[in-house]
Amino acid sequence: MHLYAATFLWISCLLPSQVDLLNNGLARTPPMGWLAWERFRCDIDCKDDPDNCISEKLFRTMGDLLVKEGYKDVGYEYVNIDDCWLTHSRNAKNQLEADPTRFPSGIKNLSSYIHNLGLKLGIYEDFGTKTCAGYPGILFQMDTDAQTFADWGVDMLKLDGCNVPTELMPYGYPEMGRALNRTNRPIMYSCSWPAYLAGGPKLPDYQAIAQSCNLWRNYDDIQDSWDSLKGIIDFYGDDKGNFSMFAGPGAWNDPDMLIIGNYGLSYDQQRVQMAMWAIMASPLLMGNDLRHIAPESKAILQNKNVIAINQDPMGKMGKRVIKNNDIQVWTRPVMPTGSYAFTIVNYGVYGTPAKLNYKLSDMGISGSKSYLITEVFDGSKIGVHTTSDVVTYSVNPTGVFMGKAVPQ
């Protein structure tokens, strides 16, 4: 049978249960952890590059470092495999298998190792006939593959969207969520569904996506550059389709990995990413090499004050409230009740910090007569100000000021 005919026959079988929701009780705050793709891509050459190839050795090492270097202590808990872990064909039982040369102990043993560290294991697959790198996809095999992941002790699934018509995504992605639920193992579910619709003629159905996925990629892959980071921030600021309103406990917009500690960002630009991922209530999934990371980058990633904003239990995604040439201001309601986190981002490249004057009311901060303003990264107090006071903020070129306003 032709693929399209078989696929649409399969869809007709899914329609009666389409209203089921994911409801797995997971991701009550944005997930935190480490993901292989940005730094290690699809390096499968373990003969000539044994320390960097996609292998069980790499994931054990990163798990060890999450614990040893203090990342686990501040909330990073997932060790996530991306593409290229598979063999190129299914086994005789039609099941997925890890490459036996690069994963000689198997995924189940790897998950046990990660679990013994007090961490969780994530894995990658694709909704289509093949993954983006050409390995077997899950189309028509959802229950089989979901049960395989559960039997292996997997804690999170990232489901990509290569090699499948986008018209099938509103049916297939929810079905995979139901298949994961049917295993009775709690598996966090990350969808790439809206990312494959970005820039198309029709906006994604974010309500359906939020009901079907714990987190979802909705824009291009991040690259190791300031331009890439700015593009993502601008996409989120534009908020087409009002996707910010669908974020909250159990369901998160995912702007992609943290590239802090890699090659492409300056110190100030790394602070921008950490602050913006916190203000946007984004998953904090590092895409770096934890063996080789500068102390200042590590300090940004482990900043407890910024992480607390990201993990705020209200789960409200921040929104851009001011855009003026190179300057953007974002705010986000946070705890304690009536408080706000805010960021002032300077895209400018002039050789001196920008001196910016704002009232709290300009930022949409209201509800109390006065607020204590603190700088989030170092916790320093700016002072108590009314909503009509003009406060001057100094923001470095391609840098950020991140503040918190608590009612007094």
Give the residue numbers marked as catalytic: 160, 221
Q: How many CB atoms lie within 10 A of CB 164?
A: 21
3-state secondary structure 158-202: EEECCCCCHHHHHHHHHHHHHHHHHCCCCCEEEECHHHHHCCCCC
Q: Which of 4, 51, 30 minimizes the C-alpha distance to 215?
A: 30
Rounded alpha-carbon distances, angstroms, from residue 308 to 7, 280, 338, 394: 44, 13, 16, 23
Rounded alpha-carbon distances, angstroms, from residue 186 to 80, 96, 141, 159: 16, 20, 19, 16
Work out the burial of residue 162: count CB atoms within 10 Å of its CB; fewer than 13 is exposed, 13-18 middle, 19 or more buried. middle
3-state helix, strand, coil in the chain (%, to 5): 35, 25, 45
- C-alpha 37/C-alpha 350 separation (Å) is 34
Cα Dmax for the chain: 71
Handedness of CA 302, 307, 310, 313 (dihedral sign): positive
| CB distance 63 to 119 below 8 Å | yes
Q: Which amino acid is at 232?
A: I
Q: Which of 123, 240, 129, 231 minimizes the C-alpha distance to 187?
A: 123
| CB distance 261 to 286 below 8 Å | yes
DSSP letter at 306 equals H
The 3-state DSSP class for residue 125 equals strand
Beta bridge partners of 130: 136
Q: How many CB atoms lie within 10 A of CB 331?
A: 22
Please give the radius of gyration of the chain, using alpha carbons only, rounded to the nearest integer.
22
